[in-house]
Amino acid sequence: MRLLFTFLLFLQSITLFGQDTVSNKLDDLQLIKQFIAELANENKRADVVLSQYVQVNNPGEELYDYLEASLEEIRINLMTKNIEDIQYIPYAQMPRKEIKDIDLEGLNSDNIYFLKYRGRHLLALYVEKDKIASFTLVSKGYNKAHFVLY
C-alpha cells in the first residue's frame, strides 16, 4: 500500500512540474504575441511598447533612442505582414542548421523564440522575467552571433 501511495505521489509531482513548464511557455508565447500585436499597431507609440514589454537593465537616453529606432524598424517590417500568419518557434524546435551559429553565452535556450513569416526568419527574441530581454542578434565574429541584453 505504501509503495502504491509513493508511486501515485511521484506521478502527481511529475504532472505538476510538467504543467508549470507548459504554463511558463504559454506565458512567454502570450507575451511575445502581445508584443508583436502592440508593435504592429501604428497607433501605439514605440516608447510605450518599449516600456511595457522590454526589459532594460542599464537605462540611458542613448540606449532608449537605439531601442525605439529598432522597434520602429520591426514595426515597418510588420506593416506588410499578416500577424496571424507569424509562426512562433521555440529554440528547441528549430532545425540545428538554423541555430548552429548562435552562441547562447549561458542564456536559457528555453526562453528563446524565433518568429518566421512564410518560412522566412523575421525576428529572434529572448524572454526573461516576463519581459522581452532581447530582440537583437549580432555577430560576434568567428561565424557566431549572440543576443544583446539591454
Percent of the residues in the chain that have a pLDDT greater than 70, as a whole number: 83
Cell numbers at residue 133, please?
A: 530581454
Read off the pTM. 0.82
35-38 long-range contacts, CB within 8 A, separation 24+: 35/125, 35/132, 36/78, 36/83, 36/86, 36/115, 37/83
Hey, what amino acid is at 91?
Answer: Y
pLDDT digits (tens, 9 = 90+) for 54-90: 999 989 999 999 999 999 999 999 999 999 999 999 9
Residue 45: pLDDT band with limits 50, 70, 90: very high
Q: What is the pLDDT of residue 25?
A: 65
Q: What is the pLDDT of residue 15?
A: 44
Residue 141: pLDDT band with limits 50, 70, 90: confident
Q: What is the pLDDT of residue 24?
A: 67
pLDDT digits (tens, 9 = 90+) for 85-132: 999 999 999 999 999 999 999 999 999 999 999 999 999 999 999 999
Q: How many CA atoms lie within 13 A of 109 on its CB side?
A: 11
